[in-house]
Amino acid sequence: RSKHPNTVHISVQIPHQDGMLPLISTHPLHHLRFLLSESVYRQQHLCSNIITAKERAPFIDQGFLSDFSKNNKEDEDFYEIPDGPGFDLPYQFDERMRDKQSVLIYRHLNLKSCIWQFDAWYHMTELVDLCG
């Protein structure tokens, strides 16, 4: 709690299903093809896992999908991705097999439990003013 003062923790777990994308947002999701391919359609989805950290940066600090790097200690403290069973397969985060955007999503899939886990910490003002 001391790592995230004055914030609300939101945690979403979604069972994995082959062929299904685990998309979450505080706004209704319409026209998925456009949402996934054109950044202009994602602008209202600041509190979601479909907007990248770069797209979100001018408005909100943190979200469900962050540019996590094990080499960046600050990100690791702020946005913890579990290690251990289900997160330890060598190909799971290999950018030679998946593009960077896919790796960012797959960091949230526990292959052992087949559960997608998305966590975010928001300030109340962000939730009210930006998330809807």
Q: CA angle 61-82-75, nearest 5°? A: 30
**95 within domain boundaries:** yes
98-117 pLDDT per residue, tens: 888 788 888 888 888 999 99
Pick from 114, 50, 107: nearest CA to 79: 107
DSSP 48: B
**118 within domain boundaries:** yes
**112 within domain boundaries:** yes
Number of CB atoms found within 10 A of residue 26's CB: 15
How far is residue 46 CA from its own chain's centroid?
A: 11
Q: Residue 81 is part of which domain span? A: 7-131
**1 within domain boundaries:** no
**14 within domain boundaries:** yes
70-81 pLDDT per residue, tens: 444 444 443 455
**91 within domain boundaries:** yes
Domain count, the chain: 1
pTM of the model: 0.77
**22 within domain boundaries:** yes
48-74 pLDDT per residue, tens: 998 888 888 888 888 887 655 444 444
**106 within domain boundaries:** yes
| Rounded Cα distance, 48 and 130, in Å | 11
5-55 pLDDT per residue, tens: 788 899 999 999 998 989 999 999 998 899 888 888 888 899 999 888 888
Structure tokens given for 39: 């950044």
